[in-house]
């Protein structure tokens, strides 16, 4: 399953742990977590397109 639910949270947790040790590693992990949140949002947000289309013109 590509969009396994806990993967963005897993990266966030490791990033939080890395935030005490290495600034560079922490930033990289936080950026990956942010990118994963965006991808996961696009995946789940696609299910709501019919609702959004009912709201009128965009």
Token pair in block for residue 33: 């977590």
Binding marks (x or -) toward another protein, 8..27, rule CB under 8 A? xxx-xx-xxx-xx--x--xx
Query: Contact between 57 and another protein (CB under 8 A)?
Result: no
Contact predicate 11/28, CB 8 Å: no
Length of the chain: 58
Q: In whole angstroms, what is the distance from residue 46 CA to residue 28 CA?
A: 27
The CB-side HSE value for 20 (13 A sphere, CA atoms) comes to: 4
Residues of span 31-50 touching another protein by CB under 8 A: 31, 33-34, 37-38, 40-41, 43-45, 47-48
Applying CB under 8 A, which residues contact another protein?
1, 3-6, 8-10, 12-13, 15-17, 19-20, 23, 26-27, 30-31, 33-34, 37-38, 40-41, 43-45, 47-48, 51-52, 54-55
């Amino acid at each position: 399953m590509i969009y396994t639910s806990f993967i963005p949270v897993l990266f966030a947790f490791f990033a939080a742990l890395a935030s005490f040790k290495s600034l560079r590693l922490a930033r990289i992990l936080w950026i990956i977590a942010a990118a994963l949140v965006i991808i996961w949002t696009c995946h789940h947000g696609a299910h709501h397109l019919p609702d959004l289309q009912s709201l009128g013109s965009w």
